[in-house]
Amino acid sequence: MPRTQQQLAVRDELYRVPRFSRDWALFLDVDGTLLEIAPHPAAVKVSPPLRQLLGRLCGAAGGALALVSGRSVADVESLFAPLGLCVAGQHGAERRDFAGRLHRQVRQPVGLRVAAERLGRFVAERPGLVLENKGLNIAVHYRNAPGYEREVAEQFAATIAELGEDFELQAGKMVYELKPAGQSKGAAIAQFMREEPFKGRVPVFVGDDLTDESGFAVANKLGGHSIKVGAGDSVAAWRLPDPEGVRAWLRGLALEWTRARRAGG
C-alpha cells in the first residue's frame, strides 16, 4: 500500500522538501528517482498512474517539466510514451526542447564504435555484467556481478586513455560509464533555463546518484532547490527517502498547483 506523505515524514527524517511555489520548473531524474532501479535497464516499467501524474504536473507548470536522465532521449521517450515531455538524455549529451527539437551537443567520435566493440567483448566474458550502449554514452552495469567492479573501472580507464580528451569516466550506482567530456545534467538544466517555458522560473531538480550532483549544483547556483533521493553525501539542500517518497511528494505538488490555480494565486 502506498505510504502517505504524513507517514513518510514520521518514518524517515530524510524527508525534507522545500515549500511549494507555483513558479517552479521541475527537473526529474528517472532511474532511482521516479522509478526503482532494476537489475537490467530494460526491465523498468512506468505505471499508467505515474504517466498521468507527470502529465498533470507538466500542464500545471505550463510545460516547465523535463526528465533529465543518463538514458538516451529515445529510450526515455519510449518509456514514458505517449507523454511528450522535455527530455535531457545521455547526461546532457542530447536534449529534446519544448518545441520538440532534438539537440545533440557532440558528434560521435570515430573511436567510439571500436570502444563499444571492445567493451562488448569484455562484458561477454564476465557473466552478470550488462553493457548499455546509448549512442554517445556507453555504460557497464555490475549490479549483478559486484566482484568485477575493479576490472570494469580499469577497463574504462584504459578505454578513455585511448579515446583521448573527448571522453571522460562517470561513476554511478553499480555502474561505470563513458561519456562526452564537458557534458552533464547540470549543463542540460542550465540550457533549459535559458528557454521558454522554463525561463524566469525557479529550478527544482530531484536526483539520486553521483551523476546528479552537477544538476544539484546548477539548481543551487540559480537560486532553486536541489533534492537528493536517499542517503549519501551531496550538495543537495533537501532530501526524499526513495522513489516511492518522490512519487508521493509529486502527488502532493499536483494538489498544491490545483489549489493555487483555484485560488488564483
| Together in a domain, 119 and 210 | no
What local confidence, expressed as pLDDT, does residue 41 receive? 82
Q: Answer yes or no: are the C-beta atoms of 243 and 46 closer than 8 Å.
A: no
Please give the grid coordinates belonging to residue 92: 546532457
Kindly state whether residues 223 and 245 are assigned to the same domain.
Answer: yes
Q: Is residue 202 located within the same domain as residue 99?
A: yes
What is the distance between the alpha carbons of residues 157 and 84, in angstroms, rounded to a whole number? Answer: 37
The reply to whether 18 and 101 lie within a common domain is: yes
The tens place of each residue's pLDDT in the chain, 265 residues long, gives 455 554 444 344 457 899 999 999 999 999 999 999 888 788 899 999 999 999 999 999 999 999 999 899 999 999 999 999 999 998 888 999 999 999 987 666 667 888 888 899 999 999 999 998 888 888 899 989 999 999 999 998 888 888 877 788 888 888 888 887 878 999 999 999 999 999 999 999 999 988 899 999 999 999 999 999 999 899 999 999 999 999 999 999 999 998 888 887 5
Structure confidence by residue, pLDDT tens digits, 221-253: 999 999 999 998 999 999 999 999 999 999 999
- The full length of the chain comes to 265
Whether the CB-CB separation of 83 and 55 falls below 8 Å is answered with yes
pLDDT of residue 116: 87
Please report whether residue 76 resides in a domain: yes
| 86 grid coordinates | 522535455
Catalytic positions, please?
29
Q: Are 185 and 92 in contact (CB under 8 A)?
A: yes
The pTM (predicted TM-score) of the whole model is: 0.83
- Residue pair 211/202 in contact (Cβ under 8 Å)? The answer is no
Among positive and negative, which fits the CA dihedral 54, 189, 37, 163? positive
Q: Under DSSP, is residue 33 helix (H, G, I), strand (E, B) or coil?
A: coil
Question: Quick one: 96 and 190 in the same domain?
Answer: yes
Contact 112, 119 (CB under 8 A): no
Q: What is the pLDDT of residue 109?
A: 64
CB under 8 Å to 214, separation ≥6 — which residues? Answer: 184, 185, 186, 187
CA nearest neighbour of 242 among 60, 14, 71, 54: 14
Burial zone of 20 (CB within 10 Å; 0-12 exposed, 13-18 middle, 19+ buried):
middle
The alpha carbon of 12 is separated from its chain's Cα centroid by a whole number of angstroms, namely 23
Which domain, by its residues, includes 116? 111-180
CATH of the domain at 175: 3.30.70.1020
Q: Residue 3 falls within a domain, yes or no? A: no
- Surface-to-core class of residue 121, CB atoms within 10 Å of its CB (0-12 exposed, 13-18 middle, 19+ buried): exposed
Mark which of 180, 209, 231 sits at the end of a domain.
Answer: 180
Is residue 193 domain-shared with residue 97, that is, in the same domain?
yes
